[in-house]
């Protein structure tokens, strides 16, 4: 008998899953093939079963998976309207740096203390998805020393805690059909470490806005060039709007690749988008985040991670049941009103057509 402190696996779609030692960030596109959408729908609806199957082998490893769905396939996949703010990631173009928009229909954010559990869960899920999807990007992240990124700074301490966490990450009454879900933005950055290491510690700290050794915040600049910490803090009408980051380093010393995988969960998508605009365009415009001189954005996608209940119900038959006795069916005198495909929960924005 094992001495697990947990009795059950972590529920799917838990955006606040514990910090993990490793993670897989898997971005997929759905193929334009007969039956592909149906396969993806049924697989995602059954993620909880796959998670139980793998996670139960070591509950203390806290295997979790968060599924995100992109705007391009939301309508076909869920057969309903889209969350109010969901749209394709818009490229952010600054004077010197660009945050590109890259393809992505489905995101799987797989986290655990053990690499083998992430591997096995990913393998089983991809077996079920088969040729219905194409892998756009697979990044394996790891937790580095003292929760630091590869630039040497502690990453993620600005995350909200307590009640501020669900308040900042989970959609509420403002979009009731999608309450409990969360917007997710992912970006893959690579770093020229040799150039970064050529800076003095004081220069690095001025760019980040924190002390390198003890992570203490430095004072904000009153005017002119602002630090990464200041540009990535969103304050509107005196209220600070937080997001949850679960960034992870990735890379290969042998391959010369060093990077940070950014993943942000937010109740309001515009918070992350404004953050990126301040970083890439600058505030004031022209004074971009100096961290971008040492961090190149390679990808950029937006997803919505629905609640676990929403995800599980996606494969339910959405068609209304007909009368028990076909003979009792009434032929309407005029054509019925066209179905709007909604969930009957109000007029919400529909997802873009697939192209």
- Per residue in 229-254, pLDDT (tens digit) is 999 999 999 999 999 999 999 999 99
pLDDT tens digit string along 183-218? 999 999 999 999 999 999 999 999 999 999 999 999
Tokens of 196: 């970064």
User: Using 50, 70 and 90 to split pLDDT, how confident is the model at 4?
Assistant: low
Token look-up 């955006």 returns 15
Residue % of the chain over a pLDDT of 70: 88
Q: Among residues 25, 15, 44, which one has the least CA distance to residue 299?
A: 25
Q: In this structure, are residues 350 and 79 in contact, taking their beta carbons and an 8 Å threshold?
A: no
Return d(Cα 342, Cα 344) in angstroms, integer.
5
Strand partners, 93: 98
CA distances from 65 to 9, 10, 89, 299 (A): 11, 9, 22, 21
- Which of 132 and 354 is assigned the larger pLDDT? 132
Model confidence, pTM: 0.87
* Strand, coil or helix: 52: helix
Return d(Cα 348, Cα 342) in angstroms, integer.
8
Q: Is 293 a catalytic residue?
A: no
pLDDT of residue 351: 38
Choice among 16, 137, 155, 246 that is catalytic: 155
pLDDT tens digit string along 77-89? 999 999 999 999 9
Helix (H) or strand (E) segment spanning residue 119: helix 115-129
Q: In this structure, are residues 71 and 86 in contact, taking their beta carbons and an 8 Å threshold?
A: yes
pLDDT tens digit string along 302-336? 999 999 999 999 999 775 544 444 443 333 333 33
Return d(Cα 134, Cα 119) in angstroms, integer.
18
pLDDT tens digit string along 37-60? 999 999 999 999 999 999 999 999
* Strand, coil or helix: 332: coil
């Amino acid at each position: 008998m094992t001495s697990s402190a947990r009795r059950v696996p972590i529920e799917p779609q838990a955006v606040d899953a514990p910090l993990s030692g490793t993670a897989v960030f898997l971005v997929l596109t759905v193929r334009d093939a007969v039956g592909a959408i149906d396969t993806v729908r049924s697989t995602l609806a059954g993620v909880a079963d796959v998670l139980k199957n793998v996670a139960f082998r070591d509950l203390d490893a806290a295997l979790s998976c968060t599924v995100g769905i992109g705007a391009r396939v939301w309508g076909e996949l869920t057969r309903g309207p889209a969350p109010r703010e969901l749209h394709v990631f818009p490229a952010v173009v600054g004077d010197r740096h660009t945050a590109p928009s890259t393809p992505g229909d489905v995101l799987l954010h797989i986290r655990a203390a053990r690499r083998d559990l992430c591997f096995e869960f990913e393998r089983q899920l991809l077996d079920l998805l088969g040729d219905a999807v194409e892998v756009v990007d697979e990044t394996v992240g790891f937790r580095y020393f003292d929760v630091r990124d590869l630039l040497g700074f502690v990453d993620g301490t600005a995350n909200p805690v307590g009640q501020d966490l669900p308040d900042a990450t989970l959609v509420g009454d403002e979009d009731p059909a999608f309450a409990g879900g969360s917007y997710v933005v992912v970006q893959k950055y690579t770093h020229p470490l040799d150039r970064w290491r050529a800076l003095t510690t004081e220069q690095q700290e001025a760019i980040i806005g924190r002390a390198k050794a003890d992570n203490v915040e430095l004072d904000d600049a009153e005017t002119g060039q602002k630090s990464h910490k200041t540009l990535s803090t969103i304050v509107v009408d005196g209220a600070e709007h937080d997001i949850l980051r679960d960034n992870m380093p990735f890379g290969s010393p042998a391959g010369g690749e060093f990077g940070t995988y950014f993943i942000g969960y937010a109740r309001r998508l515009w918070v992350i988008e404004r953050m990126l605009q301040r970083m890439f365009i600058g505030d004031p415009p022209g004074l971009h985040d100096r961290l971008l001189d040492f961090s190149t954005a390679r990808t950029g996608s937006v997803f919505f991670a629905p609640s676990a209940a929403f995800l599980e119900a996606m494969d339910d038959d959405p068609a209304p049941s007909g009368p028990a006795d076909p003979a009792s069916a009434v032929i309407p005198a005029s054509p019925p009103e066209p179905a709007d495909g909604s969930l009957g929960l109000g007029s919400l924005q529909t997802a873009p057509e697939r192209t």
